[in-house]
């Protein structure tokens, strides 16, 4: 009788440890950027001119190929300020991972980028391209790979995103439908 009881007592901590590890969902690599950035920069974002859409004018004498890009589909024609600590905290609080229900209702909109938020961790970055018209997001990793919003999540505080954009680029007329 002692041997089975001793076996149970000795294996119980190991069994509990396995159970708690199995129930912990590992954080996706992109979540480290969105939950714990070292710094965050804001940029204006646009489609490349080759897309033939209405787009922002680039500064005089600046060619598109000289501007920073995010992935193949977005150009960043103007760099804004780096977000301060309070702004970063509010941005982190606005992140809703894909594992939770999306609090932003779907809007009919052809995604037209307005701003990009570049999240830094060390020397590696991840961009969040934001359409303020429909409040949709496209994520670009440091290798230029596009990640689907439904696999990453959303930034649920639209008013804060709009405020950041207007403070960083007061001369811009951002489309808002909210």
Q: Which pLDDT value is given to residue 18?
A: 41
- The more confidently predicted of residues 93 and 22 is 93
* High-pLDDT (> 90) share of the chain, %: 44
The verdict on residue 174 lying in a domain is no
The verdict on residue 81 lying in a domain is yes
Give the three-state DSSP class for 46. strand
pLDDT tens readout for residues 45-71: 998 876 555 556 666 777 777 788 888
Distance in angstroms (rounded) separating the CA atoms of residues 176 and 178: 6
The verdict on residue 129 lying in a domain is yes
Which residue has tokens 């922002």? 56
Work out the burial of residue 28: count CB atoms within 10 Å of its CB; fewer than 13 is exposed, 13-18 middle, 19 or more buried: middle
Tally the domains of the chain: 1
pLDDT tens readout for residues 113-168: 999 999 999 999 999 999 998 888 999 998 999 988 888 988 999 999 999 999 99
Contact 123, 45 (CB under 8 A): no
Residues 6+ apart with CB under 8 A from 104: 135, 154, 156, 158
The average pLDDT across 86-97 equals: 95
The mean pLDDT value of the chain amounts to 80
Contact 64, 75 (CB under 8 A): yes
Q: H-type helices in 26-135, by residue range?
A: 29-35, 85-94
- Number of helices (H), then strands (E), belonging to the chain: the values are 5, 9
The verdict on residue 104 lying in a domain is yes
The verdict on residue 18 lying in a domain is no
Q: Which pLDDT value is given to residue 43?
A: 96
The average pLDDT across 19-33 equals: 57
Look up residue 141 and give its two tokens. 């990793």
The verdict on residue 142 lying in a domain is yes
The verdict on residue 10 lying in a domain is no
Distance in angstroms (rounded) separating the CA atoms of residues 169 and 115: 10
The average pLDDT across 74-83 equals: 93
The verdict on residue 22 lying in a domain is no
* High-pLDDT (> 70) share of the chain, %: 75
Q: Which pLDDT value is given to residue 2?
A: 57
**Domain of 82?**
27-168
């Amino acid at each position: 009788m002692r041997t089975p009881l001793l076996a149970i007592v000795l294996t119980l901590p190991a069994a509990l440890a396995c159970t708690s590890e199995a129930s912990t969902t590992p954080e996706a690599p992109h979540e480290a950027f969105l939950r714990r950035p070292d710094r965050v920069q804001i940029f204006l974002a646009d489609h490349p001119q080759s897309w033939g859409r209405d787009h922002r004018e680039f500064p005089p004498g600046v060619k598109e190929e000289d501007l920073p890009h995010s992935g193949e589909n977005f150009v960043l024609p103007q760099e804004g300020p780096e977000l301060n600590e309070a702004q970063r905290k509010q941005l982190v609080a606005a992140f809703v991972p894909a594992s939770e229900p999306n609090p932003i209702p779907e809007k009919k909109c052809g995604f037209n980028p307005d701003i990009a938020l570049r999240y830094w961790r060390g020397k590696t970055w991840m961009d969040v391209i934001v359409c303020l018209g429909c409040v949709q997001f496209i994520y670009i990793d440091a290798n230029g790979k596009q990640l689907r919003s439904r696999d990453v999540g959303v930034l649920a505080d639209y008013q804060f995103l709009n405020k950041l954009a207007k403070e960083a680029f007061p001369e811009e007329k951002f489309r808002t439908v909210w």
